[in-house]
Structure 1
Amino acid sequence: MHTLDLNHIRWHQLPGFENFDYCILSVDRPNQLVDVLFHFHAHDPIVLHRHCAVNHTFVIRGEHQLFHANGELKETRPTGSYTISQPDTTPHRECGGDGGTLVLFSIRGTEGVMYEILDDQQKIIAALDMDTFEALFAANSDAA
């Protein structure tokens, strides 16, 4: 059994992406599951990306804001919102509302690409897959 204390989360950042923090809770390759907590900073949308796998999200704290690629607000999810999103080729950005937000992402059902990171011209600049999440999880666990 794994117990999580939200007051003692060990946050990490990806180099070059300082406007959000993450904590990988688990990687379960046999069942194709990755659970990640994201802390999105207030009113500072993250890099353009698209979800290539099913994502179950639960907003733990704050307001989760999603934006179209053109910067127009797409959706706002309040604390307590639970959403199941299918893979979507439409890119978007995300951030927190006032005070930021804490969101649990449960990424499911693929050995392939889970997220594609895009530049402002919507060209793929990076892809995150199961190997990427396993490597980040191992590196972050070793650093603990």
Structure 2
Amino acid sequence: MFMTRSRSFDDSNITWHTLEGVDHLHYHIFAVDEERKIVDLMFKFAANKKILLHRHHADYVTVVVQGELRIYRPNGELKEVRPVGSYVGTRGGGEPHTEGGGDMDVIAFFSNRGQDGVIYEILDENLNTVTTFALQDFKALMQAQGS
């Protein structure tokens, strides 16, 4: 059996940002390419916490660079654990879920691709849409993080 150990990633050169009303999540946007419809960013999820229920509308790639990314079904059941070093490509439109860190903060790189409309849909406990994040929203957040 192959085992990996989680190591601390040196994120001292990354300026983390937060979204009002979104607990246990920090982000840093690296690039928004409107022409190719790509948003590249890192998320830092707090250890042993979950973020908001959401659904991905864009195809995306995830690389876990620190810790383990835990993915939960809407009912709270643990669906998947992605250890440090894992690379996963997923189609948009999958099952709503929450995510969070394991015993340490998890840092994961996300590359959202092929969608200039809704990229993430934030849901309430009844799976109703609360808000959405589109490519233009990420462009505005990236511009704001530079100031």
Counterpart-to-counterpart distance in 2, 1:135 and 1:67: 29
Q: Distance in 1 between matches of 2:16 and 2:54?
A: 21
The one-letter amino acid paired with 1:53 is A
Given the alignment of the two structures, is residue 65 of structure 1 paired with residue 70 of structure 2, yes or no?
yes
Over the matched positions of the two proteins, sequence identity in percent amounts to 41
Report the Cα offset of residue 91 of structure 1: 0.5
1:102 matched to 2:107? The reply is: yes
User: Shift in Å at residue 18 of structure 1?
Assistant: 2.4
Secondary structure class of the residue paired with 1:135: helix
Q: Deviations over 1:1-59 (max 9, x none)?
A: xxxx7322100000001211000011111111110100000111100000000010000
The match for 2:47 among 42, 47, 51 is 42
Question: How far apart, CA to CA, are the structure 2 residues paired with 1:84 and 1:137?
Answer: 23
TM-score by length of 1: 0.93
Give every structure 1 segment of 4 or more consecutive aligned residues whose post-TM-superposition deviation is greater than 6 Å.
Answer: none
Match of 2:33 in 1: 28
- Structure 1 regions of 5+ residues with no counterpart? none
- Secondary structure in structure 2 of the residue aligned to 1:136: helix
Aligned to 2:5: none
Residue aligning to 2:3: none
Between the aligned partners of 1:74 and 1:88, the Cα distance in structure 2 is 16
**Residue 56 (str. 1) matches residue 61 (str. 2):** yes
Deviation, structure 1 residue 112: 1.1
Partner of 2:89: 84
- Report the alpha carbon displacement of residue 105 of structure 1 after superposing the two structures with TM: 0.2
Structural RMSD (CA): 1.0
* Structure 1 CA distance for aligned equivalents of residues 128 and 94 of structure 2: 12
Question: Cα offset for 1:89?
Answer: 4.1
Please state whether the residue corresponding to 1:132 is helix, strand or coil.
helix
Flag the structure with higher helix content. 1
Q: 1:24, 1:86 → 2: CA distance?
A: 21
